[in-house]
Structure 1
Amino acid sequence: MSNLSDYWLERAQQAIQSETLEDAAKVAEIERIVAMMIADIYKTLLAYYGKLATAEGIDWREAKQIADKFDVEMFQVQAKVYVENKDFSDEANKELKRYNTAMYANREKLLKHELGLIVTKGYAEQENVINKHLHDSVTRTLEHQSGILGADVHVKPTDVEAIVYSNFGKLNWSERLWNNQDELRKDVERMASHVMLRGRHPYEFVPEIRKKQKQTVANTKSLLITEAARVQTEAQKLHYLETIGKDAEYEFVAKRDEKTSKICRHYDKKVFKVKDMVPGVNAPPMHPHCRSTTVPHVGNWRDKFFKDRQGKYRLRGDEETKQLLAKKEMTDAIDSGKISLWKKF
Structure 2
Amino acid sequence: MTTEELRKLKRYYVKAAADIERDIAALYAKYATENGLSMTAARKLIRGDEFKSWRLTLEEYVRKSKVDPKILRELNTLTARSRISRLEALHARTLMETIDLAERLQEAADAHLARAYLETYYGNLYDFHKTIGLSTPPNAVDAKRVESVLQTAWVGKNYSSRIWANQARLANELEATLLQAIHRGSSIQQLSKALSRRMDVAYSNAERLIRTELNAVENRASEAAMKAAEFTHYQFMATLDRRTCARCGERDGEVYKLSEMNQGENAPPMHARCRCTIVAYDGGGNGQRVAGRERLPEGVTYKQWRARYVDGEPPTIIINNYEDVAKVRTQSEFTALANQIKPIVEPYTGRASKWNGKIMVADDGDRAGGKHWSCSIRLNPDVPEHVLIHEMIHSCSASHYGAQKFFENKFEEELTVHYLSQELAVLKKILVVDSGYDNGVELIREFKRALGIKQPDLEFASALIRQPLGERWDWLGGLIPFGGTIEQYQNLLSKLEAIRQWKTS
TM-score, L = length of structure 1: 0.70
Q: Does 1:183 pair with 2:162?
A: no
Q: CA deviation at 1:278?
A: 2.0
Letter in 1 for 2:287: R
Q: Does the 8 Å contact 2:215/2:275 carry over to 1?
A: yes
Structure 1 counterpart of 2:281, from 283, 292, 297: 297
Counting only pairs closer than 5 Å after superposition, residues 10-89 of structure 1 correspond to structure 2 as 22=1, 24-53=3-32, 61=40, 64-67=44-47, 69-70=49-50, 73=53, 76-77=56-57, 80=60, 84=64, 89=67
TM-score, L = length of structure 2: 0.49
CA offset digits 1:168-199 (Å, max 9, x no partner): 11222211221121122112223444567886
* CA distance in 1: counterparts of 2:279 and 2:108, whole angstroms: 28
Q: Does the 8 Å contact 1:79/1:117 carry over to 2?
A: no
* CA distance in 2: counterparts of 1:46 and 1:81, whole angstroms: 22
Secondary structure in 2 matching 1:98: helix
CA offset digits 1:36-69 (Å, max 9, x no partner): 2122222211111111138xxxx99569445373
Secondary structure in 1 matching 2:279: strand
The structure whose RCO (Cα within 8 Å, separation 6+) is larger is: 1
Counting only pairs closer than 5 Å after superposition, residues 1-345 of structure 1 correspond to structure 2 as 22=1, 24-53=3-32, 61=40, 64-67=44-47, 69-70=49-50, 73=53, 76-77=56-57, 80=60, 84=64, 89-90=67-68, 94=72, 98=76, 101=79, 104-150=83-129, 151=134, 152-193=138-179, 200-245=186-231, 248-299=232-283, 300-304=285-289, 306-307=291-292
Letter in 2 for 1:279: Q
Secondary structure in 1 matching 2:87: helix
User: Cα gap change, 1:286/1:101 in structure 2, threshold over 3 Å: closer, same or farther?
Assistant: same
Letter in 1 for 2:53: E
Letter in 1 for 2:10: E
Letter in 2 for 1:261: C
Q: Does the 8 Å contact 1:153/1:242 carry over to 2?
A: no
Q: Percent identity?
A: 22
Q: CA deviation at 1:305?
A: 5.0
CA offset digits 1:106-149 (Å, max 9, x no partner): 32221111111111111211121122221111111111112211
User: Cα gap change, 1:23/1:222 in structure 2, threshold over 3 Å: closer, same or farther?
Assistant: farther
CA offset digits 1:199-253 (Å, max 9, x no partner): 65333334432331222112111211111111111122122112224xx222222
CA offset digits 1:299-336 (Å, max 9, x no partner): 311232553669xx9xxxxxxxx9699xxxxxxxxxxx
- 211-220 vs 255-264, which deviates more? 255-264
Secondary structure in 1 matching 2:235: strand
Q: Does the 8 Å contact 2:248/2:270 carry over to 1?
A: yes
Unaligned runs of 5+ in 1: 1-21, 314-321, 326-345
* CA distance in 2: counterparts of 1:155 and 1:29, whole angstroms: 28
* CA distance in 2: counterparts of 1:126 and 1:92, whole angstroms: 18
* CA distance in 2: counterparts of 1:210 and 1:163, whole angstroms: 35
Secondary structure in 1 matching 2:168: helix
User: Cα gap change, 1:180/1:201 in structure 2, threshold over 3 Å: closer, same or farther?
Assistant: same
Letter in 2 for 1:301: N
* CA distance in 2: counterparts of 1:76 and 1:238, whole angstroms: 49
* CA distance in 2: counterparts of 1:161 and 1:190, whole angstroms: 36
Query: Residue 338 of structure 1 corresponds to which residue in structure 2?
Result: none
Q: Does the 8 Å contact 1:251/1:297 carry over to 2?
A: yes
**Structure with the largest fraction of helix:** 1
Unaligned runs of 5+ in 2: 296-308, 310-323, 328-505
User: Cα gap change, 1:68/1:206 in structure 2, threshold over 3 Å: closer, same or farther?
Assistant: farther
